Chain A
Amino acid sequence: GAVVSQHPSWVICKSGTSVKIECRSLDFQATTMFWYRQFPKQSLMLMATSNEGSKATYEQGVEKDKFLINHASLTLSTLTVTSAHPEDSSFYICSARGGGGSNFYEQYFGPGTRLTVT
């Protein structure tokens, strides 16, 4: 149980274009989803927290107009990187929290999406 998927697993896009990453909770309803960014050999940095049906809360220093987050249902959240630039190249990971009987704070992570901007 508690499986989270991400799509695509990797994507290459040209500078200036936008790319959308999907995060799905497959066997539970995720009341909250989190988006992280991880640079090589570094830790996970939280970008934003999203609750179903409401606006995402962004961490300090994260541009909300550049990283658009939509959490339209209890099983799907999307992250859109708009006007991507090479410095946006990173490993993007989502996590989901929720589900009956689970630890309130326990987060289940997706497999990540490798974004390369050329």
Chain B
Amino acid sequence: GENVEQHPSTLSVQEGDSAVIKCTYSDSASNYFPWYKQELGKGPQLIIDIRSNVGEKKDQRIAVTLNKTAKHFSLHITETQPEDSAVYFCAAGGRFGNEKLTFGTGTRLTIIP
């Protein structure tokens, strides 16, 4: 089955600086890679996703890059703000005929004012 590794597990960034979280996956058939933000006591919220036919996708301060050859994808948050503090999860899925997502272990991002 799919295996997703996520690094780092914790990340502290000065407000205004950029944050980068990286994930690797094992199943070359995966073709859908979403990123979720989870605040304490709440369910995950989709913040951006990318399909395998695209190398990069951007939405305001958030961007995701995908390297299918190396089987890794990254989340980039620029101009970080205190409200960006949360736990972020990457996931991989979209294997033909399989709707499941496999999640990474999470990154606790803290923005230092």
A residues bordering B, Cβ < 8 Å?
A: 4, 6, 32, 34, 42-44, 46, 49, 93, 95, 97, 103-112, 114
Which positions 19-74 of chain B face chain A at CB distance < 8 Å? 32, 34, 36, 41-46, 49, 51
Query: Shortest distance in angstroms between A96's beta carbon and chain B's nearest beta carbon?
Result: 11
A46: chain B residues within 8 A (beta carbon):
100-102
Check A105–B32 contact: CB distance below 8 A: yes
Query: Shortest distance in angstroms between A4's beta carbon and chain B's nearest beta carbon?
Result: 8
Closest to B45 in A: A109
Check B99–A43 contact: CB distance below 8 A: no
Check A49–B99 contact: CB distance below 8 A: yes
| Cross-chain pairs A/B with CB under 8 angstroms, 27 sampled | A4-B43, A6-B43, A34-B101, A42-B105, A43-B89, A43-B104, A43-B106, A46-B100, A46-B101, A46-B102, A49-B99, A103-B49, A104-B94, A105-B32, A105-B93, A105-B94, A106-B34, A106-B49, A107-B101, A108-B46, A109-B45, A110-B43, A111-B42, A111-B43, A112-B41, A112-B42, A114-B41
Query: Shortest distance in angstroms between B11's beta carbon and chain A's nearest beta carbon?
Result: 15
Interface size on B, residues (CB 8 A): 22
Query: Shortest distance in angstroms between A26's beta carbon and chain B's nearest beta carbon?
Result: 14
Check B103–A43 contact: CB distance below 8 A: yes
Check A44–B93 contact: CB distance below 8 A: no
Report B75-96 CB contacts with A as 1/0, cut-off 8 Å. 0000000000000010001100
Check B99–A112 contact: CB distance below 8 A: no
